[in-house]
Amino acid sequence: MKDILTAKFVKEMQSTTANMYRLGWDERNGGNISYMLDEKEVAEYLDLNNVIRTIPTGFDATELIGKIFIVTGTGKYFKNVMDDPENNLGIIRIAADGTTAELLWGYTDGGKFTSELPAHLMSHMARLRVDPENRVVMHSHPTNTLAMNYIHELDEKKFTHTLWEMCTECIVVFPDGVGVLPWMLCGTNEIGEATAKKMEEFRLVVWGMHGIYGAGKTMDETFGLIETVEKAAQIYMLTAHMPRVNTIKDSEMVELAEFFGVKYRKDFLNL
Ligand code: 2HA
Ligand code: ZN
């Protein structure tokens, strides 16, 4: 059996959490990532019959029975994943009852998966229905995105439109726009269900005055989505208090979307 610390998926979790920490997006225990793994690949590193312990999830994930995820731990700091992946991460499989997680590796101090597991697994289910290749769900507290939540209307058309105006590439990177939820209590099945509902049409969902969720096929794609929103929000925060002299016009956004051949939310433009 190969050493799991050499596995690409562990290294990706380490480098991504380290990048997010260094960008200042994930203070203390802020943020969480779940990454659906290929069973055959995991079997190169772990005996899949060896369940270390079982942990109830508190919700039904029948659609994900048998699926394996690497997930950041509750209360754990992104800052520490690089140096101690085995304690700060865990590999879980959804058991046959759909409501129990079987721990296959990690959480060595007796810990468990992120408190946001409902939002993660429900989002995986929603995204897999529209994109069978979806693998990653990522939550973070990017500074400018969060700042923008306090001074911009939390309306998904207006929020998306403002972001699209801030960088030429935005409409190409997230043509499907950004879903927006009002402030809600986090760590609950309710916010999980609301997030998953948005994930049926968006790969990005803002949690009002809290942070953002992203979903994608790869770690890079998902990180890149959040990174692009955060960059646009940064430009917004750098300019919102000053007179706007220039902007990217809606007709120019149409030009961009058509040139790059992306299917965009026409109803989010004012044509
Ligand atoms: O787990 O970010 O939303 C820490 C969080 C909760
Ligand atoms: Zn959070």
Assigned token pair, 98? 């759909």
The domain 1-114 is placed in CATH, from the list 3.40.225.10, 3.30.499.10, 3.40.50.1980, 3.40.50.1100, at: 3.40.225.10
Please identify, by atom number, the ligand 1 atom nearest to the C-alpha of residue 207: 3
| pLDDT number for residue 124 | 98
Distance 174 CA to ligand 2 centre (A): 21
Residue ranges per structural domain of the chain: 1-114, 116-271
Active-site annotation, residues: 116
Q: Residue 112: nearest ligand to its CA?
A: 1
Nearest-angstrom CA–CA distance, 43 and 235: 45
Distance 2 CA to ligand 1 centre (A): 32
1-114 and 116-271: identical CATH topology? yes
pLDDT digits 0-9 by tens, 58-72: 999 999 999 999 999
- Residues lining ligand 1, Cβ inside 6 A: 29-32, 114-116, 139, 186
What confidence category does residue 99 fall into, taking pLDDT thresholds of 50, 70 and 90? very high
DSSP of 101-135, one letter per residue?
A: EEEEEE-TTS--B-TTHHHHHHHHHHHHHH-TT--
Chain centroid to CA 252: 29
The domain 116-271 is placed in CATH, from the list 3.10.450.50, 3.40.50.300, 3.80.10.10, 3.40.225.10, at: 3.40.225.10
Q: Residue 191: nearest ligand to its CA?
A: 1
Q: Residue 212: nearest ligand to its CA?
A: 2
| pLDDT number for residue 115 | 98
Distance 175 CA to ligand 2 centre (A): 24
The model scores a pTM over 0.75: yes
Nearest-angstrom CA–CA distance, 128 and 194: 16
Distance 258 CA to ligand 2 centre (A): 35
Nearest-angstrom CA–CA distance, 208 and 45: 39
Please identify, by atom number, the ligand 1 atom nearest to the C-alpha of residue 32: 1
| pLDDT number for residue 176 | 98
| pLDDT number for residue 247 | 97
| pLDDT number for residue 44 | 98
Q: What is the mean pLDDT of residues 55-60?
A: 98
